[in-house]
Amino acid sequence: MSFKIITDSTADLDENWAQANDVDILGLTITLEGVTYETAGPNRLTSKVLLESMKNGGKPTTSQVNIGQFQESFRRYAQAGEAVLCLAFSSVLSGTYQSAVMARDLVLEEFPEAVIEIVDTLAAAGGEGYLSILAVKARDEGKSLAETKAMILDVIPRLRTYFLVDDLYHLMRGGRLSKASAFMGSLANIKPLLWLAADGKLVPLAKIRGRKKAMKEMIAHASQDIAHSTAIVAYANDLESAEKLKADLLENPAITKVLIMPLGPVISAHVGPGTLAVFSIGKEAR
């Protein structure tokens, strides 16, 4: 029996790909200069527009997918008798996962036989997108919802997420990083490398002088102990550096494919222009 896959706009999936692969994307919202924008759908705010605004001093804020959005989506599939697997943005970084859980409880009161499974991915951006891609692959291979969920839960602790952020001010402003950590990143030419720890928190991993050295360090971490032959590189308005990261990753014989995707507006709002990220799956839990 097939099932529906739902995720949110922080997964940074291409909407055409999502539509072609029967994945629903629910959008967080961004408020910029007093105007609130959607991040999914035809009228969504693009990263290009957002990052240009941030370069000029814009200070965007983001809001989680609300309970009503999840409830409407879950209810529609419950009515149709279709099971749902929802992969949600890390509960440590957003209230989106909790909104999904509360919405499911409401829908189950009306449709007690509905099957609505929700996974806290403890991931963001290309990491969350990677899990969504793996879920689609498993479903297309005929795996059940239970089998697919079990596979995702097995991968989550082994999913590595590394961010090289040009300016930590945006993470500090959004409350995702302490002022002390942000101060270290403001020192002359120090490029902080961050990662998502096992509990889903974004924490500093290393402080490296110079962007090129920092990129090499990020590759060294992301290339260790590889279990899946695909890696993902994400970028905020620096495609040239993303292509360099891809080439460096492919020098590792364990990596045969590297997907490049732009960071979406929600994650870009927190990390700012110039950010690079790498996502890979290891053999051991991080």
Rounded to an integer, what distance in angstroms lies between the CA atom of residue 57 and that of residue 38?
21
Say if 4-157 and 158-281 have the same CATH topology.
no
Three-state DSSP at 234 gives strand
Stated pTM of the model: 0.92
pLDDT tens, residue by residue, 142-152: 999 999 999 99
Amino acid at 4: K
User: Nearest to residue 108, comparing CAs of 84, 88, 87?
Assistant: 84
Break the chain into its structural domains and give their ranges. Answer: 4-157, 158-281
pLDDT tens, residue by residue, 17-67: 999 999 999 999 999 989 999 999 988 999 999 999 998 888 999 999 999
pLDDT tens, residue by residue, 56-101: 888 999 999 999 999 999 999 999 999 999 999 999 999 999 999 9
Whether domain 4-157 has CATH 1.10.540.10: no
Whether domain 158-281 has CATH 3.30.1180.10: yes
